[in-house]
Structure 1
Amino acid sequence: MPRLSTSLICLTLLMASPALAQDYAWQGFAAADAMNTLHHNLLNRTNEAAQERRDRAAGRRPAARPAAPPPSLPANQLTFRRDPAVTRGVHADLVKRVSGKDANAGRVLSQELVRRDPLTVATPIFRRFGLDTGNVVDATAIYFMGMWGAANNVQNQMSPDQARGARAHVARAVNFAGMGLNTPAARQRYAEGLLYQVILMDMAVEQAQQQKNAAHQRVLADAAHRQMTQAGLDMRKVDLTAAGFVPL
């Protein structure tokens, strides 16, 4: 995920608590349908790669196995214009989830979201990578990029090629037509739920890396890894390349 150049220190401190990180207080935002379809795509590709290796070992020409793409949607059914009322609802849900684990952290988060919205800060940064936070495909790609980076404790900034690869992979693998994102408000709630989750995680990982706090880096990486594996996607078994998420 593109590292945030503007640090929001109070927000990153929310993830300094091992209890919050281990329980991943905002995991309810996870887009299970998107994760399941991407996981299915990666599993199929892993099986196909294994079959290709067997075919080559036996001297057979690997068979072409084109994947059936999910139904496509017109661009105007994938985007939304940000509605402050919807954002306030997403904020309230996030604060409630965090407060359930740590009341003080919830109060700090509530204050910081009012003072300085991390998604507003991050949006122009993502835009430089060709990713639009007002698009559900791009938001999903940002989420998967960030969780891959967190689960693997990646320290380098994501490249534009990786961003394009993640975006293209999500676009061809995820069935957005079947996710009930039929209104701008539904699309916004879905996208912003993912974006806030991964922005906060990314900032916490970045801070732990800057402080060279290896123990906290492990806690955060394991939290991200557990969140994704519980949804059926092991980010430690894939690499992120210009071709998308590629099984190792």
Structure 2
Amino acid sequence: MMLHSLTGAAALLASLFAPAGPQQGAPPVRFDPGSLPALDLSPGQGVAADVDGGYRPDPAVRRKLADIMGEAAGREGAAQEAEMRQIVLSGRAVAEYEKVAPRLGYSANDAIDGLAFYMLAQWGVANDHRPDITRAQAAGVRRQAANAFARVADQVDSDALRQEFGEMLMIQGAIMAGTHEAALRSGDSAALARYADIARRGGRQIFQADPVDILLTDDGFRHR
């Protein structure tokens, strides 16, 4: 996914991990990695929880998501807010996820697959990972994502909440992967280092460790 500039992409990427303000009432729909339990990276945790992350997409939910993510990006500036709203409303980031998903064995309209994709993107950018991710590796991460999702499934117990959760992850993952790919194509090593640093900061919350100390295996993520 191409963004207008690498400078703008850096600001958008930074906004993804900006602290979210307190929310009233319904569970937060802006994805906060700290809201998920730490992944269980110990050996032998290969069985996925029996939990369903699927949802029926609703255009009204995406419009709400554009407001949420646009407001978050607006902390970096009006241009970033406008671009984020356009990315969400156009559906192009979700479409980028949906193009990649079949190669990973993932599906559209599934919050668990969105979480797995997000974790792969974040780990990949943090580590400047360039080889293709195999279906076996993606399946291992998907099992870990299912187990993590099972612990918060009661907080996203409707189609609308699962869509908000899943699409936010897909969009964030697509932005991270897209900015990394754009920097690779342009040979911008400074941008690659900057994006890796941002992804490492966010990844510490999910992995409870620096992502560069995490390996990607056929069993999912593991400590080195």
Q: Same fold (TM over 0.5)?
A: yes
Runs (5+) with no aligned partner, structure 1: 1-6, 50-65
Q: Specify the alignment match of 2:38 in structure 1.
A: 37
Deviation at 1:172, TM superposition (A): 3.7
Contact 2:112/2:142 (<8 A) preserved: yes
Question: Structure 1 CA distance, aligned partners of 2:91 and 2:149?
Answer: 32
With normalisation by structure 1, the TM-score equals: 0.75
Within the candidate set 50, 63, 75, 1:72 is matched to 50
TM-score, normalised via structure 2 length: 0.82
Q: Say how many residue pairs are matched.
A: 211
Long gaps (5+) in structure 2: 21-30
- Aligned partner of 1:240 in structure 2 is 216
Aligned to 1:227: 202
Query: Which residue does 1:3 correspond to in 2?
Result: none
1:56 corresponds to: none
CA distance in 1, matches of 2:8, 2:108: 23
CA RMSD of aligned residues (A): 2.6
Pair 103,81 (structure 1): closer, same or farther in 2 beyond 3 Å: same
Note the C-alpha offset of 1:184.
0.6
DSSP-derived class of the 1:245 partner: strand
- Residues 36-72 of structure 1, C-alpha deviation per residue, up to 9 Å, x if partnerless? 231xx12xx2xxx7xxxxxxxxxxxxxxxx6697863
Q: How far is the alpha carbon of 1:116 from its aligned partner?
A: 5.5
The aligned residue for residue 23 of structure 2 is: none
Equivalent residue number for residue 26 of structure 2:
none
- Output one character per residue of 1:122-161: Cα deviation in whole Å (capped at 9) or x when no partner: 3132123210131122111111111110111112222222
- Measure, in 2, the Cα distance between the counterparts of 1:126 and 1:33: 24
* C-alpha distance 79-12 of structure 1, shift in aligned 2 (>3 A): farther
* 1:166-212 deviation per Cα after TM superposition (whole angstroms, max 9, x unaligned): 11222245434554111111111111111111111110011111111
Equivalents in 2 of 1:163, 1:71: separation in Å? 16
Specify which of 182, 191, 209 is matched with residue 216 of structure 1.
Answer: 191
Structure with bigger gyration radius? 1
SS at match of 2:222: strand
Task: Give identity over the alignment, percent.
Answer: 23
The match for 2:135 is 160
Match of 1:127 among 99, 102, 108: 102
